[in-house]
């Protein structure tokens, strides 16, 4: 049916050459480029089903990208596809309210304990941007604390490099962002409460919010150390600051009630994306009714979007979350991920390759390091990035698709059955061997 040797073939290469003539870098998101793993043409995907994606050359891959998180049920889940098709037949977008918006909002409020009211947006970036504006508008303060290695979309004020110290004033993380835009962004060290306390000591009366990924998923997969999230909650309470969880990645993936339920720490504001739209471009911001009524039209903080609450996204979100609510999907995934991680570690050890996996719920990370635990961005940067690149290409050659960067988490789905995991571990044995021989 499809090739077992999965190096991107001639049709992918031809499409990449064409794409570079009309699309910057040939991709519509830098995360899809192979620059971080030595370059080359990415596989152009034609279709997907369950745990597998198939490229335009017919190569089949066991997929651990899952559209960077949304596909927790597997690709082309029948209930999700049916819901989208049913709604598409009624019309695509109306610029007016629909009952689907209400149904998804109610479902989110039922599943996430801290959320009483929710505003739909179109992406995780929009959710983070709205959460930041909401926090500033609600508190009347300007400054925000974020963490080195935490990614909140390409919002100007949050796209900030950390520098070498535990706490720096914001330095723009991209050309096109004026220094003035990030002058009120403070960067602390993830999993280091002292760096946060230092920021509060210097600016406590003007810090609107602390924004954090409760599990860092954009410097691979780094769970919070014991007491970190609880400490953030205490510091925010002491200073009248809002705690914002960016659960765009972790929301509904690590637990049916999101990371806040998994770790037992309640934020004031939650940004959602990815799974909340079931694979469609949807984001959401939720909080208590009191905080959310700061948004227009009930309050003065303006936020709007022509396609917010898009019917197809709402239908996909409802069909996805309704299957996650009882926890059965997460319970089914847990032993699969445990088997996968154990097998990966065993193959790495057999080939003498320093290797570590970390996980939270249905997301995991792979680090080429002899460290017992990776907790901060500096730990990730100290890993063997070249080793990961060789491993990535070894896996790709043997039919396993990983994100083409050492700084991205990996995602498993309900559809990853024993066969998919066995194929993954067989590929890993060959890939680790290639790493060891380099």
Q: Return d(Cα 215, Cα 220) in angstroms, integer.
A: 10
Catalytic, 151? Answer yes
Among residues 192, 274, 336, 429, which one is catalytic?
A: 274
Among residues 52, 61, 138, 151, which one is catalytic?
A: 151
Q: Given CA atoms 274, 278, 281, 286 in this order, what sign does their dihedral have? A: negative
Q: Return d(Cα 96, Cα 218) in angstroms, integer.
A: 35
Residues whose CB is less than 8 angstroms from the CB of residue 214 and which lie 6 or more positions away in sequence, other chains included? 224, 229, 245, 246, 247, 250, 259, 260, 263, 265
Q: Return d(Cα 118, Cα 134) in angstroms, integer.
A: 12
Q: Given CA atoms 222, 223, 225, 228 in this order, what sign does their dihedral have? A: positive
Closest residue by Cα to residue 159 from 192, 198, 132 = 132
Among residues 55, 77, 184, 246, which one is catalytic?
A: 246
Closest residue by Cα to residue 222 from 199, 194, 190 = 190
Which residue carries 């959710």 as its tokens?
127
Catalytic, 68? Answer no
In order of 242, 260, 424, the CA distances from 136 in angstroms are: 9, 22, 46
In order of 190, 220, 284, 302, the CA distances from 297 in angstroms are: 35, 38, 17, 8
Closest residue by Cα to residue 66 from 53, 79, 78, 47 = 53
Work out the number of other CB atoms within 10 angstroms of the CB of residue 330.
19
Q: Kindly state the tokens that stand for 45.
A: 């995907």
Catalytic, 237? Answer no
Beta strands in 181-290 (DSSP E): 185-188, 207-212, 242-247, 269-272, 283-287
Residues marked as catalytic: 151, 246, 274
């Amino acid at each position: 049916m499809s090739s077992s040797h999965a190096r991107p073939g001639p049709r992918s290469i031809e499409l990449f050459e064409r794409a570079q003539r009309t699309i910057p870098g040939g991709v519509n998101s830098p995360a899809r480029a192979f620059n971080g793993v030595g370059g080359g043409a990415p596989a152009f995907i034609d279709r997907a089903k369950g745990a597998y994606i198939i490229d335009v050359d017919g190569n089949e891959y066991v997929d651990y990208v899952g559209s960077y998180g949304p596909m927790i049920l597997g690709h082309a889940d029948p209930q999700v596809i049916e819901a989208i098709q049913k709604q598409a037949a009624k019309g695509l977008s109306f610029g007016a309210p629909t009952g689907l918006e209400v149904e998804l909002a109610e479902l989110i409020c039922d599943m996430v304990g801290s959320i009483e009211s929710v505003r739909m947006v179109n992406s995780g970036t929009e959710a983070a941007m709205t959460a930041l504006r909401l926090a500033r508008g609600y508190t009347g303060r300007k400054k925000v604390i974020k963490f080195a290695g935490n990614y909140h979309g390409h919002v100007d004020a949050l796209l900030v490099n950390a520098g070498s110290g535990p706490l720096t004033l914001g330095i723009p993380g991209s050309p096109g962002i004026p220094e003035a835009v990030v002058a009120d962004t403070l960067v602390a060290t993830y999993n280091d409460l002292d760096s946060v306390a230092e920021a509060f000591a210097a600016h406590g009366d003007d810090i609107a919010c602390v924004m954090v990924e409760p599990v860092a998923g954009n410097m691979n997969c780094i769970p919070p150390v014991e007491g970190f999230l609880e400490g953030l909650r205490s510091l925010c309470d002491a200073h009248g600051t809002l705690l914002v969880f960016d659960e765009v990645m972790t929301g509904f993936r690590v637990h049916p009630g999101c990371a806040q339920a998994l770790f037992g720490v309640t934020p004031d504001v939650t940004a959602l994306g990815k799974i909340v739209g079931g694979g469609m471009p949807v984001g959401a911001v939720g909080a208590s009714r009191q905080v959310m009524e700061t948004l227009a039209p009930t309050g003065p903080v303006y936020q709007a979007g022509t396609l917010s609450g898009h019917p197809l996204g709402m239908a996909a979100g409802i069909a996805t979350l309704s299957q996650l609510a009882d926890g059965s999907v997460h319970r089914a995934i847990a032993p699969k991920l445990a088997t996968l991680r154990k097998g990966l570690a065993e193959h790495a050890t057999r080939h003498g390759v320093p290797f570590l996996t970390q996980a939270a719920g249905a997301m995991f990370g792979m680090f080429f390091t002899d460290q017992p635990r990776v907790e901060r961005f500096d730990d990730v940067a100290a890993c063997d990035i070249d080793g990961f690149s060789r491993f990535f290409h070894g896996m790709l050659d043997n039919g396993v698709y990983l994100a083409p960067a050492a700084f991205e988490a990996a995602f498993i789905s309900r559809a990853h059955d024993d066969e998919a995991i066995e194929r993954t571990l067989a590929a890993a044995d060959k890939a680790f061997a290639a790493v060891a021989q380099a």
